[in-house]
Amino acid sequence: MNHQSNLEKIIAILQDICPGVDYKTCQTLIDQQILDSFAILSIVAELQDAFDVYLTPMDIQPSNFNSAQALTALMERKKAGGK
């Protein structure tokens, strides 16, 4: 699956869990407290199912969750077997 379709898939998940945010441009999902811990864990559950990866507490960093792009990069790293 290419990068663009991964990004679109993640934006769809984000919209489903926390609607009403422009995920294409927003880079401060954690810094501006748009996503709370409840939303983060819902997103993690969906991402794990959708990408067949396993996330650990170490992955829950603002830098990984601040934007749809950062989440896409995280998923791609995980798929490639990296940290």
Partner 1 sequence: MSFVSLKFVLFVLVAVVGYYNIPKRGQWVWLLLFSYAYYASAGFKIVPFLLFSTMVSYAAGILLGQVNNLPTELEHRQKRKRFILIVALLLQFGMLFALKYAHWIFGNLFSLRQWLLPLGISFYTFQSAGYIIDVYWEKFAPEKSFLRYALFVSFFPQLLQGPIGRFNRLAQQLYEEHTLNWTQIEQGIQRILWGFFKKMILADNAARFVDEVLWWNNYQKYSGTVILVAILGYSLQLYGDFSGGMDIVKGIALFFGIDLDENFKRPYFASSIADFWHRWHITLGTWMKDYVFYPISLSKPMNRFGKFSRNTFGKQLGRALPIAVANLVVFFLVGVWHGANMKFIVYGLYHGLLIALEGLLLPYTRAWDNKWRNLATLRTFLLIQISWYFDRADHLDHAFALMQKTVTDFHITDFWNGTLFLNGANRIGPWFYGILLVGCLILYLVSYYQEKGMQLGEWLCAKPVAVRFMVYLILLYALPALGTLSSSSGGFIYAQF
By CB under 8 A, name the binding residues for partner 1.
Answer: 17, 33, 36-38, 41-42, 44-46, 48-49, 54-58, 60
Q: How far is the CB of 76 from partner 1 (least distance, A)?
A: 19
Q: How far is the CB of 49 from partner 1 (least distance, A)?
A: 8
Best CA proximity match to 12, nearest among 47, 63, 52: 47
Q: Measured from the CB atom, is 58 or 80 closer to partner 1? A: 58
Which single residue is written with the structure tokens 């991402």?
47
Which single residue is written with the structure tokens 């290419």?
2
Q: Measured from the CB atom, is 27 or 61 closer to partner 1? A: 61
